[in-house]
Structure 1
Amino acid sequence: MGKFKKTILLISLTILLSNNVYSISNQTKYKDLIKSSDKISGEVEFIINTIKDRYDIPEVSGEVTNMPWRNDKEFLKAKEKYNTPILIAGFCAVLKNPLPGEEYNVNLAARKAKGLVIKPSDTFSQNSNIGPYTKSRGFREGASYIGGNIIMTEGGGVCKVATTLYNLAALSNFEIIERHNHSMPINYVPYGQDATVAYGVKDLRFKNTTEDSILIWTEMIGNRLYMGFYGSEKPPKITWNHEIDKITLPSTKYIKNEKLAPGETKTVLNGMNGATVKSTITITYSDGHYAIKNMGTSHYQPLPQLIETN
């Protein structure tokens, strides 16, 4: 086969697969059609494997459907073992400008959640399944919101796992038993969609209201936390609604940093407005009818802007 024809074939195959013209099974058939050309079979197989392993890489946090572990052997084995063939909800939390210690603790908490199974009618508790968030269990100090301040605590950052689990539970239309919002707003999900935990004080708990087991799978890639719930039946479509009221502007706090040049300033944390937020979800069923579920009211103090100066 000439170089020109070879290039056209590879480009055409890439376009077809990237546009999802062919399912995975048809991709395999397409590979079989060009097996006669030994010179390009390796390149074609590489393209097919690359397309199969593609996953969503969102710029902002939200629902995702193409997960990075789709072809992972451990995941496929667990999915078969617990009879959970369908992704019922997927979410990716994009962690913007993580504070010290957060990424490590988020990654560790996510690994502890990976492979957990929620049986029918059982209530999942983050504190019971992932906590306590102590050094003896591998957690480090990380930034936390406490009493309107940002301080370093053991396990600081695990609330990002709680927030992701909360959004998955909402997308799955599970019953929320316990959820607490942060004292100040966070920058990686909309107001009203966050959840915080503090071992022995605040927990995230939700009930598996389906008749089948739910498998949890997770992976941290860079600053993106992927989590998915797997079961046997797709839930109805879920849409968040938020009514924001009583907005309070943030203050500015200055911190001395002698490492900066004289007169130099550096913004460490951008401020965010305080607010009261009433949240609901719209549940749209396959036959077209819908229902509104109250998800509670969240109260946030303003997050101050932090500026280092010398």
Structure 2
Amino acid sequence: MKILVTFLEKLKIKKRRNLFLLGLTPLFLIGIGITIFDIYYYNRILPGVYASNLLLAGKTRVEAEALLKNQIKTPGTITLLAKGKKFDLSLNDIDLSYDIQSTVNSAYHLYRSENIISDIFNKPISLFTIKSVPIVTTTDEGKLNEYLQVISSQVATEPVHPSVIYSGNEVNVEKGSAGENIDNKEFRKNLEQQLASEDYSDIHIPFRTIDPALSEEESESLKKRAETLVEKRITLQHEYDLFSLKENELFSFLDARENFNEENIFRYVEKEISPRVNREPQNAVFRFEGGKVIEFLPGKDGITIDRQLLKDQLIDKLASLETSDEKTSTLIVPVQTDPPKVTTDQVNNLGINELLGSGISKFKGSIPGRVFNIGHASSKLNGVLVAPGETLSFNQAVGEVSSLTGYKQAYVIKDGRTVLGDGGGVCQVSTTLFRAALAAGLPINERRAHSYRVGYYEQNSPPGLDATVYSPTTDLKIKNDTPGHILVQTIFKPFESTLIFEIYGTNDGRIATTTKPVVTSVTAPPEDLYVDDPTLPTGVVKQVDYKAWGAKAVFDYKVERDGVTTYEKRFVSNYRPWQAVYLKGTGVQQ
């Protein structure tokens, strides 16, 4: 019995072993199949893979590329349909090309990954599925957009964006209206899909509706905000340039839905401010001949407007003006700088290494002869060098002022009258130099104010900051008490009616301050004077002099270094009241 039991147990063990081996057989066969599959499709595209309608299965990448290059044919044009119109798009015009290599690589990597285990199960799936990869195409997006813009100009309806207009002391809001534009993004998507599948049938251009129109409530709210900005200003300043933003500019920065229109702010900055502010770095140039600098360019940082910061600051200023009673606000344009490769101190050994001070004056309304004389006289001072301890004499530097030295006739003060004379306008030059010397902290040894207040010298300036000259009796003299030479540089802008003087030299730490001129003893001008003139026909009246109010203007000038006052002076200008003079014709009418 015991022998029988032992036999039966051995029989059961053998049966289980046979069943186990039988179970392993399918797995063994599957493994062999996968191995054969992998060996055959090594470096080949897997089964069921197409590119468009071309079967690539079983081909190497080289074979697949050859097939696609041979089979893909590009038509000359595709017809685009929009609003009942047809447009033939030349595929050559948009630089259409097929990226065969990328297409084949995409096909090759179907069912393949970096995970070996995953690939063992994924690859056989290709035997039972069909997959198609799109043919990769490339086009010149810029050229395509240009073509769409041409179409858009013929079929699109541009939306009218809301705007606020200030006219005749009245604020009006244009609500705007909807429009339809080509949906460029959707069109490119549709075009790529058709080209990828070699479908060259007509394409309907998609449109999208743009509706910026304001509701009645939004329009009224925007109008109320704009009304708070009436007669208010924001002035942007950069170096010598001023940008005045008045009602219509400020209104354009408002937005009924987003509070402020950042796009309009950026657009204004790019169009109006950037061209006058942004610049490349300027390397220094210094050429000295015959005791005078004949060519000088100071090293200047390259400048780029910090658009984001300027936008934020403008919005802050706008918000403040909206909610306060202040009428004006000034903002220094924020910039980013890039230093020059050659600096001013590297091109000379005279101590001329930085800007010490600058002066500016305006002469809007000057007659052509006066404008010419301003440029002519200022050119005589451009490049003048003054050694340490020496004094600059305006009259000596400019030289003789007469028609013989190239000056034209313009109005001058002579013998108590304003008359035409050679060199009218030269005092604009001396006035500007005087202001630059004050800013540079230089001692003023001699200066005299005009006999009466001249309107040119009070354009963007208070009274009392002028300096008249008349050789040989009246001069402007400035001493160089710095440790190095000083260089005078002039910038003449006739079309902007602006003259600028810059003084360069060695900065020894001095700080110059001027008080705001105090105007007192204001006196009305005398009654108009009429003088008979037999050279004019009877009944003709010609004004030859203009009235001006008399006044006394006083300001204090002080220069300090390390907290110690090194120079101070009080400037007193006594302006006489000036009489208007008319010539009254008494001659025979012709």
- For the superposition of Structure 1 and Structure 2, which TM-score range results when normalised by the shorter chain? 0.5 to 0.7
Between the two structures, name the one with larger relative contact order (CA 8 Å, sep ≥ 6): 1
Distance in 2, Cα, partners of 1:285 & 1:279? 20
Structure 1 unmatched runs, 5+ = 26-48, 53-64, 67-75
Confirm or deny: 8 A CA contact 1:280 1:292 kept in the other structure: no
Instruction: Report the CA distance shift for 1:292/1:213 in structure 2 as closer, same or farther (over 3 A).
Output: closer
**Aligned with residue 302 of structure 1, among 569, 577, 583:** 577
Confirm or deny: 8 A CA contact 1:106 1:157 kept in the other structure: yes
Equivalent residue of 2:434, what SS? helix
Match of 2:480 in 1: 208
Instruction: Report the CA distance shift for 1:192/1:177 in structure 2 as closer, same or farther (over 3 A).
Output: same
Match of 1:80 in 2: 347
Match of 1:179 in 2: 447
**What is the CA distance between 1:123 and its match in structure 2?**
0.1
**What is the CA distance between 1:246 and its match in structure 2?**
1.9
**Aligned with residue 242 of structure 1, among 504, 508, 517:** 517
Distance in 1, Cα, partners of 2:548 & 2:423? 23
Q: How does 1:277-296 map to 2 (within 5 A)?
A: 277-283=553-559, 293-296=568-571
Q: How does 1:45-124 map to 2 (within 5 A)?
A: 80-81=347-348, 82-99=350-367, 101-124=369-392
Distance in 2, Cα, partners of 1:272 & 1:91? 25
**What is the CA distance between 1:280 and its match in structure 2?**
1.0
Match of 2:420 in 1: 152
Distance in 2, Cα, partners of 1:21 & 1:227? 19
Confirm or deny: 8 A CA contact 2:547 2:577 kept in the other structure: yes
Equivalent residue of 1:212, what SS? coil
Is 2:477 aligned against 1:226? no
Distance in 1, Cα, partners of 2:473 & 2:278? 51
Q: State the identity %.
A: 25
Give the structure with the larger helix fraction.
2
Distance in 2, Cα, partners of 1:184 & 1:84? 37
Match of 2:471 in 1: 199
Instruction: Report the CA distance shift for 1:268/1:284 in structure 2 as closer, same or farther (over 3 A).
Output: farther
Equivalent residue of 2:514, what SS? strand
TM-score (norm 2): 0.38
Distance in 2, Cα, partners of 1:118 & 1:229? 10
> 1:253-293: CA deviations, max 9, x gaps?
45899xxxx99989787532111222212546676x87883
Q: How does 1:234-273 map to 2 (within 5 A)?
A: 235-251=510-526, 252-253=528-529, 271-273=547-549
Distance in 2, Cα, partners of 1:274 & 1:11? 47
Distance in 2, Cα, partners of 1:237 & 1:214? 16
Mark the structure with the bigger radius of gyration: 2
Instruction: Report the CA distance shift for 1:296/1:21 in structure 2 as closer, same or farther (over 3 A).
Output: closer
Distance in 1, Cα, partners of 2:368 & 2:279? 43
Instruction: Report the CA distance shift for 1:253/1:228 in structure 2 as closer, same or farther (over 3 A).
Output: farther
Structure 2 unmatched runs, 5+ = 1-140, 147-262, 282-301, 306-331, 334-342, 586-590
TM-score (norm 1): 0.67
Confirm or deny: 8 A CA contact 2:344 2:353 kept in the other structure: no
